[in-house]
Structure 1
Amino acid sequence: MANAGRPAYINSDTRLEGEKRVVPGFLKNILKRDVELTKRFVSFLLNFVQIRSFKTHCKFLEWSCHGIVWLAGLIAFTYMFDNKDLYQMQVNLFMALIIDIFVVAIIKAIARRRRPSVNDDPFCIGPDVYSFPSGHASRASLLLGFFTCLFPFSYFVWPPLFAWWFSICISRLLLYRHHILDVVGGVFIGFFEAFIMAIIWIGPDTARSLIKWISDEKNIGNDAEII
């Protein structure tokens, strides 16, 4: 009765066997323990009223870290606010988001681990059928590293930023989107991507040139009106 109304977990290992994939014994044991630990951890959290009420906000958190939302929002922000001081941030953030999308997609295609439950929400774009790693966890970790180390915000913004990152990771479990290892893997991948961005960081001059090249057609149109 305690689990009534909660989505049932589906063992990922069973699905892998159904697809005739050869899974090493040690890995199969790790995945099985991960499924059990995730189920127990989520059940334990849902015993608390505060956590159950927090679960109602998980859908908003899911959208707040959605790749499409961040890419579309960044493009709109770049065109709406033509500020040379922000060019470097805008270009590097766009590149970081693209890298994250490709890295997560490639790893998911290789791992092909199934999600713990079926998503039957008609208003949800995604998630895809694969679980490892968590794209939301990797993106949230990447953004945390980006806005605290690469292009740091004021220290006053750090506490809510860390709280958002932590809430994103927990929400992936409460929504039955991922297992614990999926989220942990996503966190490590996101921080590693932030490290890579620190190495390939685009300088201000190159960023201004890229923005100017992208918006060249717009500038030509403005010049024609002046003439």
Structure 2
Amino acid sequence: MTHFSFDIVGFDLDGTFIDTSGDLTAAVNETLAFAGRPILTVEQVKPMIGGGAKHMLTLGLEATGGCEPDEFRALYKRMLGYYEAHISIHSHPYPGAMEVLDRFDMMGVKAAIVTNKFESFAEKLLGELGLRDRFATLIGGDTMGPGLSKPHRAPIDEMIRRCSADGSGTRAAFIGDSIYDIMAAKNAEIPAVAVSFGFMMQPVEELGADAVIDGYAELIPALERLGGRRQD
């Protein structure tokens, strides 16, 4: 019998499995408007997203006049509160993403989310979209503790541990849209696939991924090329 080469496939969340740009932009803009700043377009905000919420707001404020450190804390807290309350209004899976999960289910492949988003926010987003039970586990940016989010390998190692009986003999791959995703996979010594449609902070070709896909119809063929097939 022929089996798919990977037992576990992990996904980054924002910009990889879910297009969250609409809701993140709304949260940034609500905060900028409160601070008396001009608002930004979705296309302006997208490249700001990959480094996390604090980085995103920092860049948004820098693009609209800068911000004193003592002002930033209150604005950051406001943005997080607004985002949590409006987390799933415009967010949705990328085209073809759900079909990939269906294929994985048929093949017995476990899917997981490993994100630098706060775990509680990721749980809330997937729960409101009705997608939480499609993933064997979810690991957030604060799950493993300070300093142990992507690009550290710890979240990837924990994904494998949670999704397998003992972690031995298990093959995993990771899908993402940022240098943090690709570095985390490489640090954990598993194949990395980059998506070209995410919230790119740099050209996708510069990420150093083992494969690049332009849409989810290309993911399973790309993984098959990376892992080959094994016969049992």
Give the TM-score range, shorter chain. under 0.3
What TM-score comes out, normalization by structure 2 length?
A: 0.25
What TM-score comes out, normalization by structure 1 length?
A: 0.25
* Greater percentage in helix: 1
Structure number with greater Rg is 1
